[in-house]
Structure 1
Amino acid sequence: MPYEMIATLMFASMMLMLLTGQRVFGAIGFVAVVAALLLWGDRGGYDLGFAAAMKLMKWYPLLTLPMFIFMGYVLSESKIADDLYRMFHVWMGGLRGGLAIGTIGLMVLISAMNGLSVAGMAIGSTIALPELLKRGYDKRMVTGVVQAGSSLGILVPPSVVLVLYAMIARQPVGQLWLAGVVPGLMMAAMFIAYIVIRCRANAALGPVLSEQERNIPMSEKLRLLRAGILPVAIFATMMVPFVNGWTSLVESSAIGALAAFLAAILKGRMTRGVFENSVRKTLGITCMFMWIILAALAFGAVFDGLGAVKAIESLFTEQLNLSPWAILILMQLSFILMGTFLDDTAMLVIVAPLYVPLVGELGFDLIWYGILYTITTQIAYMTPPFGYNLFLMRAMAPPEITLRDIYSSITPFVLVMVLALALVMIFPGIATWLPGYVYGT
């Protein structure tokens, strides 16, 4: 059987298993090991899984994952995010749509603390969304605000997804993080611009706070403003030494986790319950990521052995005669399709053995492509019928938010994201300028 046919059967088998509801790591790892056994016999098949496990255990940068995840959960469980929203509530409430704008700001700061979109979604739906609804904001607009804002967690550093991409694509994490800064802030600014325009056109969508709520002493406003400085200080404590080359990535992640832990202690919020919840959730998420990476390494090893990447490149460029840009756009469309039923990590590890080497062969910058992948994943998260964020919102939103509201709320924000993706594709410097400036590349 031709190797191209074997690769196609592997990919189809994996997708079929995923559609049956199997766990992602189980489906990927099972197909990889069975294919290795059939191709290279007992020794090759058994060695494949063992070699992948040893490679994973020796992957020193993997230590960053539990550190960043722990940092995010400590700050979330200790309710520091509540202080942040109170700050935005006071300072932005006098503007039309001000609380919705503040929610986007909250999401950017939560992203800088956590690196995962689910944390922003949980905080936005439990803290921000009830407050916005109580003050007469349009429920569909603000539901879209929370979903779109939470998606920034996988783009703004320290993005856990970009750490995984860096491991799989063998690219510097620091450069990928810096590459995500400008696109992430640009997308947040585009969300804010949309909110401002909508609320100026229809003031009922985002009414200002009452005079009584805004009549707060300046001393109290300044005290609340300091709450917003804390996550920025933690982020700077972690990132400045790393960018300047004083610490490694793992050391910086440990500094961030320790800084978050000390901040919770100093604010008197590091209780036994907060610590236990943070550790338990960190362990669960970290183990999930490690199982998926283990399966992805095994799957990628089989694909490398088959020469599948070269075969696919030949199919696109020689047989179908597609241009590199046409191939790249097809890749992004496939991500959006897969995003209707898979999360970002699963998408990355499934297609990384195919797409990342192919992107390099086509002559594209892998740092830039990492940002394209992440933005496309954000779009896929909110694409019906089975977008990941849509069901997270349904599970966390107040009862008055229906599934119909959730589906209709995301359309304008998805269009904004598509515009942001197009801008980064047309002007690669949006993503590559900052890492090039800092690292001199």
Structure 2
Amino acid sequence: MSYEAIALTMFASMMVMLFTGQRVFAAIGAVAVASAVLLWGGGGFELAFSSAMKLMRWYPLLTLPLFIYMGYMMSESGIADDLYEMFHVWSGGLRGGLAVGTIGLMVAISAMNGLSVAGMAIGATIAMPELLRRGYDKIMVTGVIQAGSSLGILVPPSVVLVLYGMIARAPVGQLWLAGAIPGLMMAGMFIAYIVIRCRLQPELAPAMPAEERAKITRADKLRSLRAGIWPLLIFFSMTGLFVMGYTSLVESSAVGAVAATLAALVKRRLSFRVLEATVRKTLGISCMFMWIILAALCFGAVFDGLGAVRALESLFTEKLGLGPWEILILMQLTYLIMGTFLDDTAMLVIVAPLFVPLVASLGFDLVWYGVLYTITCQVAYMTPPFGYNLFLMRAMAPPGIDIHDIYRSIVPFVGVMILALVLVMVFPQIALWLPGLVYGN
């Protein structure tokens, strides 16, 4: 059997395993180990062991549980609730102001957690009931929360970019900085869309009633600002010290975790229940990601041994005669299609062993491509019929919102995301300027 046929058989076997409902890491790891044993005999077992040791020796991986812990501590202690109250007080007088505040909340949660699931959970439980109670259009509300929560995988500290850095051997610090400006740019584009849409269709998002605004004094507004002080201090202690060179990547994650715990303690919200829930959720998410990374490393090692990457490069450049940009666009379309039925981690594990070396051989920057991959994942998260965020929203939405409303709600936000993706592709410095400024590249 040719190497190309072996590679196709591995992919087909993996997809069959995934469609049977097996866990992602189990399906991918089992195919990788079985293929290694069939190809190289008993020595193939060493691939999995070698990948495990490689994972254990990867020092930046320590950031993963620390950042996840920090985000859950902020969520479980109620600091995120206080933050939304601040946005509510300051932006409620604007048409669509609470929706704008929700995007602001999502950016803050993204900067504290790095996962889209956390933003979705907080948005659905805190923001959605308040928006619906104030007469906001249900389709607008579901779209805002889904779009805002997707920022969690782009704005640092992004867990997805940590996984990409592990697989692509790209510096995580540069990846985080590369995702900052595109993430804030996308949030700004969401806000601009909300403001313009609500100005054209005021009935979608009524402003806070005048009598209610009158009850909010200047002292109340200033007092509400204190809710934003703690997240700001935590974010500065984590990211600011790292950017200024005072702490390393792992040290900054430890500073963030300690700062979040101290914030909960100072606000007298650090109970045993909060600590237990935070640690339990952190352990579950961290273990899941580590198993997936292990499976990805093993799968990638088998592919590298087969020479599948070189075969794919030869297919695109020599047999099909495609140029570098045509190949890049084709890869992005592949991610979009896969995103209709897989989550971002599974897509990265399945395709990265092929695409990342190909991107490097075509002369593209791997840090820049990491941002493109992440934005494409955001689009795929919200693309019917099986977008990851769509089903999360369906599980968390109140009875009055059905799956058809959820599908309709994401159309304009997906358009904004695609526009942002095109801008970053055409102007790579949007992503590369900040890493170049900090690291001097």
Q: Which TM-score tier does this pair reach, normalised by the shorter chain?
A: over 0.9
Q: Provide, for residues 356-390 of structure 1, a one-character-per-residue CA deviation record: whole Å limited to 9, x for no partner.
A: 11100011000100000000000000000000000
Amino acid at match of 1:349: V
Work out the CA distance in 1 between the residues paired with 2:283 and 2:44.
Answer: 29
Q: CA deviation at 1:230?
A: 1.5
Where do 1:69-84 residues align within 5 Å?
69-84=68-83
Work out the CA distance in 2 between the residues paired with 1:76 and 1:212.
Answer: 31
1:139 aligned residue: 138
2:295 aligned residue: 295
Q: Provide, for residues 166-213 of structure 1, a one-character-per-residue CA deviation record: whole Å limited to 9, x for no partner.
A: 111111111111111110111011111111111111111111101232
Work out the CA distance in 2 between the residues paired with 1:227 and 1:247.
Answer: 26
1:98 aligned residue: 97
1:401 aligned residue: 401
2:227 aligned residue: 227
Q: Secondary structure at the match of 2:270?
A: coil
Amino acid at match of 1:104: I
Q: CA deviation at 1:243?
A: 1.7
1:153 aligned residue: 152
Work out the CA distance in 1 between the residues paired with 2:169 and 2:178.
Answer: 15
Q: CA deviation at 1:219?
A: 1.4
Amino acid at match of 1:257: A
2:120 aligned residue: 121
* 1:170 has 2:138 as partner: no
Work out the CA distance in 1 between the residues paired with 2:371 and 2:122.
Answer: 25
Q: CA deviation at 1:29?
A: 0.5
Query: Structure 1 length normalisation: TM-score?
Result: 0.99
Q: Using the aligned pairs only, state the percent identity.
A: 75
Work out the CA distance in 2 between the residues paired with 1:65 and 1:193.
Answer: 33
Work out the CA distance in 2 between the residues paired with 1:333 and 1:163.
Answer: 23
Work out the CA distance in 2 between the residues paired with 1:93 and 1:240.
Answer: 30
Q: CA deviation at 1:45?
A: 1.7
2:339 aligned residue: 339
Work out the CA distance in 1 between the residues paired with 2:339 and 2:346.
Answer: 9
Q: CA deviation at 1:58?
A: 1.5
Q: CA deviation at 1:247?
A: 1.7
1:190 aligned residue: 189
* 1:247 has 2:247 as partner: yes
Amino acid at match of 2:141: V
Work out the CA distance in 1 between the residues paired with 2:334 and 2:243.
Answer: 34
Q: CA deviation at 1:245?
A: 2.4
Work out the CA distance in 1 between the residues paired with 2:54 and 2:276.
Answer: 30
Structure 1: segments with no counterpart, 5+ residues: none
Work out the CA distance in 1 between the residues paired with 2:272 and 2:400.
Answer: 34
2:54 aligned residue: 55
Query: Structure 2 length normalisation: TM-score?
Result: 0.99
Q: Provide, for residues 381-416 of structure 1, a one-character-per-residue CA deviation record: whole Å limited to 9, x for no partner.
A: 000000000000001111111111101000000001
2:11 aligned residue: 11
Q: CA deviation at 1:229?
A: 2.4
Q: CA deviation at 1:297?
A: 0.7
Work out the CA distance in 1 between the residues paired with 2:161 and 2:74.
Answer: 21
Amino acid at match of 1:39: L
Structure 2: segments with no counterpart, 5+ residues: none
Q: Secondary structure at the match of 2:208?
A: coil
2:423 aligned residue: 423
Work out the CA distance in 2 between the residues paired with 1:248 and 1:190.
Answer: 32
Work out the CA distance in 2 between the residues paired with 1:170 and 1:51.
Answer: 16
1:68 aligned residue: 67
Amino acid at match of 2:171: P
* CA RMSD, 1 decimal: 0.8
1:366 aligned residue: 366
1:410 aligned residue: 410
Where do 1:253-292 residues align within 5 Å?
253-292=253-292
Greater shift after overlay, 232-241 or 130-139? 232-241
Work out the CA distance in 1 between the residues paired with 2:150 and 2:37.
Answer: 40
Work out the CA distance in 2 between the residues paired with 1:349 and 1:88.
Answer: 38
Work out the CA distance in 2 between the residues paired with 1:261 and 1:117.
Answer: 21
Q: Provide, for residues 27-69 of structure 1, a one-character-per-residue CA deviation record: whole Å limited to 9, x for no partner.
A: 1101111111111001x22111111111111221111110000
Amino acid at match of 1:118: V
Work out the CA distance in 2 between the residues paired with 1:49 and 1:13.
Answer: 18
Work out the CA distance in 2 between the residues paired with 1:213 and 1:69.
Answer: 37
Q: CA deviation at 1:244?
A: 2.4
Q: CA deviation at 1:74?
A: 0.2
Greater shift after overlay, 331-340 or 307-316? 331-340
Q: CA deviation at 1:300?
A: 0.6
Q: CA deviation at 1:345?
A: 1.1
Work out the CA distance in 2 between the residues paired with 1:9 and 1:361.
Answer: 25
Runs (4+) of structure 1 exceeding 4 A deviation are none
Where do 1:177-216 residues align within 5 Å?
177-215=176-214, 216=216
Q: Secondary structure at the match of 1:187?
A: helix
Q: Provide, for residues 305-350 of structure 1, a one-character-per-residue CA deviation record: whole Å limited to 9, x for no partner.
A: 1111000000000001111111111111111111111111111111
Amino acid at match of 1:296: A
Q: Secondary structure at the match of 1:383?
A: coil
Count residues with an aligned counterpart: 440
Q: CA deviation at 1:9?
A: 1.2
Q: CA deviation at 1:421?
A: 0.3
Q: Secondary structure at the match of 2:21?
A: coil
Work out the CA distance in 2 between the residues paired with 1:217 and 1:239.
Answer: 34
Amino acid at match of 1:46: F
Amino acid at match of 2:435: P
1:29 aligned residue: 29
Work out the CA distance in 1 between the residues paired with 2:52 and 2:434.
Answer: 35
Amino acid at match of 2:87: F
1:130 aligned residue: 129
Work out the CA distance in 1 between the residues paired with 2:430 and 2:122.
Answer: 29
Work out the CA distance in 2 between the residues paired with 1:213 and 1:54.
Answer: 60
